[in-house]
Amino acid sequence: MASQSTFVIVGAGLAGAKAAEALREQGFDGRIVLIGDEASRPYERPPLSKEYLQGKAERDSVFVHDADWYPSHDIDLRLGTVVQSLDRDRHEVILADGDHLPYHKLLLTTGAEPRRLPIPGADAERVYYLRRVEDSDRLRDLFATASRLAVIGAGWIGLEVAAAARTAGVAVIVVEVAALPLLRVLGPQVAPVFADLHRAHDVDLRRGTGIQEITSSSGKATGLRLADGSHVEADAVLVGVGAAPNTRLATEAGLEVDNGVVVDASLRSSDPDIYAAGDVARAYHPFLDKHIRVEHWANALNQPATAAAAMLGQDARFEALPYFYTDQYDLGMEYTGYTEPEGYDQVVVRGDLSTREFVSFWLHQGRVLAGMNVNIWDVTHDIKALIHAQTPVDIARLADPSVPLAEVGTRA
């Protein structure tokens, strides 16, 4: 690509920073402008609900690059800058202050935002959402004074915050509308592990429970009115009901958008000069043979190298299997692969769910679709191999912890 080219990256989170890095690593010597609306330079979000929230990690540890990395790699990093719109015909990005910035290629890494809860009281003071480092700071300050936190939603973030709050000595009630925490992701066989984990740490877990309103007094949250009319008191509320992709720019510019910016395997959108990566992208996955949008750290970390290669005119495809992890109390887990709730017909557990040391597998017609290792490490490579094999496995050997995963073998 000619050195006079300008590549603009909108969204200075992990994916944006990694894209700038990948472009330089892959030899692009043109202009790179990385624009983000946050005040901080790109940082990683997983610590915000874990070690950073618990005060075990410093602010400096969350950044993707040192501050001097950007000038030293000739990246024009514009923080606190909102991109207002895209003018595809003129190949320009329009900033909120009215400035126009020309681009040859554009990458959207605008990420996602927490879903808001459309119930009365959701705007009260002491109702928290967690996405940005400032949100995590506020929550950490809260832990020092609050005696009881109500968490709405037993997804990953809700449960991680519940764990951090309990670790800080705050009483926690978690209210989940589904019958179990993480039911959609883990299914009824494995999801109870997380319910038991939190109960073991004295979390008051209410399942299958809707919420009428967040109650408040003098504008401050005082608790939750549950669907059955009962009231639970709390001096703060965390809403963790999922995230929605930041697709406004793409939608208004007329790009194909469907729960994310729709991109092909090379992360190119319906406009050949515009790409998307990270939480905002709904990418065609060649191995899974479908479009998926993945809201996980590893995706934001790794997709940008593919986007960068494609922006530089190479034939690149993103084919890595989805991977994510969580840490809650003394439970650490990694999940590799992909399945939807109706996509599997068997769950196989190797190890013991009750001791929270196991690997569980989700299978369809004997083929492994996904695997989750809990407090067992260094098996991701083997889980990936089982998924990629796409052949029915020997179930008895898969379930037997004495058989190395690499030697499970196929069904006789």
Ligand X SMILES: Cc1cc2nc3c(=O)[nH]c(=O)nc-3n(C[C@H](O)[C@H](O)[C@H](O)COP(=O)(O)OP(=O)(O)OC[C@H]3O[C@@H](n4cnc5c(N)ncnc54)[C@H](O)[C@@H]3O)c2cc1C
Q: Is 35 in the site for ligand X (CB under 6 A)?
A: yes
Euclidean distance between CA atoms 183 and 88, whole angstroms: 41
Q: Is 267 in the site for ligand X (CB under 6 A)?
A: no
Phi, psi of 290 (to 5 degrees): -160, 165
- Measured from the CB atom, the residue of 41 and 367 that comes closer to ligand X is 41
Euclidean distance between CA atoms 302 and 307, whole angstroms: 9
Residue 101 C-beta-side C-alpha neighbours within 13 Å: 26
CB within 8 Å of 116: residues ≥ 6 apart: 122, 129, 239
Q: Which stretch binds ligand X (CB under 6 A): 20-28, 56-64, 265-273, 289-297?
A: 289-297
In the beta sheet, which residues pair with residue 362? Answer: 347, 370
Residue whose C-alpha is closest to residue 10's, from 304, 400, 223, 270:
304
CB of 215 to ligand X, least distance (A): 26
Residue whose C-alpha is closest to residue 49's, from 126, 159, 160:
160
Among 295, 316, 336, 350, which residue interacts with ligand X (rule: CB under 6 A)? 295
Q: Is 39 in the site for ligand X (CB under 6 A)?
A: no
Q: Is 112 in the site for ligand X (CB under 6 A)?
A: yes
# residues near ligand X by CB under 6 A: 36
- Measured from the CB atom, the residue of 294 and 386 that comes closer to ligand X is 294
State which of positions 211-230 bind ligand X (CB under 6 A): none
Q: Which helix (H) or strand (E) holds 93?
A: strand 92-95
Residue 164 C-beta-side C-alpha neighbours within 13 Å: 31
Euclidean distance between CA atoms 279 and 110, whole angstroms: 8
Binding mask 234-263 for ligand X (x = CB under 6 A): ------------x--x--------------
- Measured from the CB atom, the residue of 67 and 82 that comes closer to ligand X is 82
CB of 279 to ligand X, least distance (A): 4
Q: Which stretch binds ligand X (CB under 6 A): 12-20, 61-69, 185-193, 371-379?
A: 12-20
Q: Which stretch binds ligand X (CB under 6 A): 26-34, 58-66, 209-217, 290-298?
A: 290-298
Binding mask 159-178 for ligand X (x = CB under 6 A): --------------------
Q: Is 78 in the site for ligand X (CB under 6 A)?
A: no
Tokens representing residue 361 in the block: 């597998």
Q: What is the dihedral of CA 246, 184, 122, 145, to 10 degrees?
A: -100
Q: Is 278 in the site for ligand X (CB under 6 A)?
A: yes
Euclidean distance between CA atoms 107 and 32, whole angstroms: 11
- Measured from the CB atom, the residue of 131 and 206 that comes closer to ligand X is 131
Tell me which DSSP letter residue 80 carries: S
Cβ atoms within 10 A of the Cβ of 274, count?
A: 25
Euclidean distance between CA atoms 165 and 270, whole angstroms: 44
State which of positions 121-160 bind ligand X (CB under 6 A): 130-131, 157
Q: Which stretch binds ligand X (CB under 6 A): 109-117, 183-191, 282-290, 314-322?
A: 109-117
Q: What residues line the site for ligand X (CB under 6 A)?
A: 10-16, 35-38, 45-46, 48-49, 82-83, 109-112, 130-131, 157, 246, 249, 278-279, 295-298, 300, 324-326
